[in-house]
Amino acid sequence: MASKRLGEILMEHGIITHQQLEEALAQQTSKGGLLGIILVEMGHLKPKALSDFLEAQRGL
């Protein structure tokens, strides 16, 4: 069974919106980088929340 992607988990928990995810994915496509870091840099996600959700992602 495939684990969920970080963006999906963050949306399910109401941490980011679909639009914020789309903007971050567009930036990732154009400039590269890790989605979580991009979301933090865009101000949509706090570093602590990123850490917590990365742990949750590993546990799924």
Query: What distance in Å separates the CA atoms of residue 31 and residue 43, rounded to the nearest whole number?
Result: 17
Q: What is the pLDDT of residue 32?
A: 96
Every domain of the chain and the residues it spans: 6-59
Q: What is the pLDDT of residue 1?
A: 40
Those residues whose C-beta lies under 8 Å from the C-beta of residue 21, and which sit 6 or more positions away, are: 7, 10, 11
The tens digit of pLDDT for each residue in 3-57 reads: 778 898 899 989 999 999 999 999 999 999 999 999 999 999 999 999 988 887 7
